[in-house]
């Protein structure tokens, strides 16, 4: 019993140290957040500000989560993809990134046989790699085709993004950064590139810039007919 207790204490201390070190490394104030229902983390992507030929968000995600390419696009891990869509009638072109939409009513969570796909109290939809048996049903169920499967062995993993061959994964909204009080890497890279097309924040806090923008402007969800209530909303995109 003692040894179990010691191990638990050790793991707890290690986790706390990791979070603090991460927070410091990210340049945040080290203010850690606990997942609570008071928070609904989300993103607003402003397609009007998403620049042509810019892939800063995609590159940042690859770097942050160590999603090394094997030059096999069909199986390579990509948690965020930039698309360019043209309206067939009007010819209006918009560009924006698509990633896990962190739905409140997530299909992946509903269909997962082991509960490996789960939704945290703060709205983040994640995969517990220890419970994932690799059935890939969630990939089929995701209306946004946002999930990927780890098809081959991984190497040089990022400390904040554990990955495992034979399991399913998707954008975590950089949960390790959020828990350390930071922002997702894609959002930071977009701001750094001078576009500011991605806004991260808490939908449940009326004083948060994200919530203010959601109230002030028409932000839309992808595939609203499915009632998934996504945590990622778009500005300048018509569904």
Partner 1 sequence: MNRTRISNSKAFLVLLGISLLLTLLGAWAALRIESGGHILTGMNNSVPWGVALTLATFLLVAASGTLNLASLSSVFGREAYKPFASFSALLALSLLAGGLFTLMLDLGRPKDVFLVLNHFNAASVFSLNIVIYAVFFLLVGLYWLLTIFTPQGRGTRVFGFAAFVWRIILTTGSGCVFAVLAGRSALHSALLPPLFIALSLSLGLAVSVIALYKAGIASERPFAALCQEDTARGMGNLLAILVAVTFYMAATLHLVGLNSPPVRSFERFVLCSGGIFPVLLWGGFVTLGTLIPLILLLVPALRAWSLRLPAAAGCVVLGSFALMYTLIITPQVYPPEIFPGKIVEDVFYGTPATYEATALEWFVGLGGLGLAGLLSLFGMRVLPVLPNRFQPTSSQ
Name which of 191 and 226 has its Cβ closer to partner 1: 226
Place of tokens 């089929």: 140
CA dihedral (109, 231, 145, 238) in degrees, to 10, reads 140
Name which of 64 and 107 has its Cβ closer to partner 1: 107
Name which of 101 and 161 has its Cβ closer to partner 1: 101
CB 77 within 8 A of CB 148: yes
CB of 116 to partner 1, least distance (A): 8
Question: What contacts 17, CB < 8 A, 6 or more positions away?
Answer: none
CA distance 208 to 197: 17
CA distance 164 to 40: 28
CB of 22 to partner 1, least distance (A): 28
CB of 140 to partner 1, least distance (A): 6
Residues that bind partner 1 (CB under 8 A): 70, 72-75, 78, 81-89, 98, 107, 110-116, 131-137, 139-145, 147-153, 165-168, 222-223, 226
CB of 76 to partner 1, least distance (A): 8
Name which of 22 and 65 has its Cβ closer to partner 1: 65
């Amino acid at each position: 019993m003692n040894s179990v207790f010691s191990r638990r204490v050790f793991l707890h201390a290690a986790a706390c140290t990791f979070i603090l070190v991460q927070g410091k490394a990210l340049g945040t104030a080290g203010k850690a957040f606990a997942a609570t229902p008071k928070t609904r983390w989300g993103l607003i992507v402003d397609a009007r500000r998403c620049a042509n030929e810019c892939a800063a968000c995609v590159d940042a995600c690859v770097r942050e989560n160590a999603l090394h390419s094997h030059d096999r696009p069909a199986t390579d891990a990509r948690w965020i993809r930039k698309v360019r869509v043209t309206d067939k009638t009007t010819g209006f072109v918009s560009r924006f990134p698509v990633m896990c939409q962190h739905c409140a009513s997530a299909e992946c969570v509903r269909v997962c046989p082991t509960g490996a796909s789960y939704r945290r109290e703060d709205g983040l939809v994640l995969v517990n790699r220890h419970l994932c048996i690799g059935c890939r049903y969630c990939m089929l169920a995701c209306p946004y085709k946002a999930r990927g499967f780890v098809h081959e062995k991984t190497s040089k993993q990022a400390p904040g993004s554990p990955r495992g061959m034979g399991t399913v994964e998707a954008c975590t909204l950089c949960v390790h950064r959020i828990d350390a009080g930071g922002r997702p890497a894609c959002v930071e890279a977009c701001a750094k590139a001078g576009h500011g097309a991605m806004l991260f924040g808490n939908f449940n806090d009326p004083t948060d810039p994200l919530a203010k923008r959601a109230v002030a402007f028409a932000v839309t969800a992808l595939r609203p007919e499915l009632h998934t209530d996504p945590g990622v909303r778009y500005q300048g995109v018509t569904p």
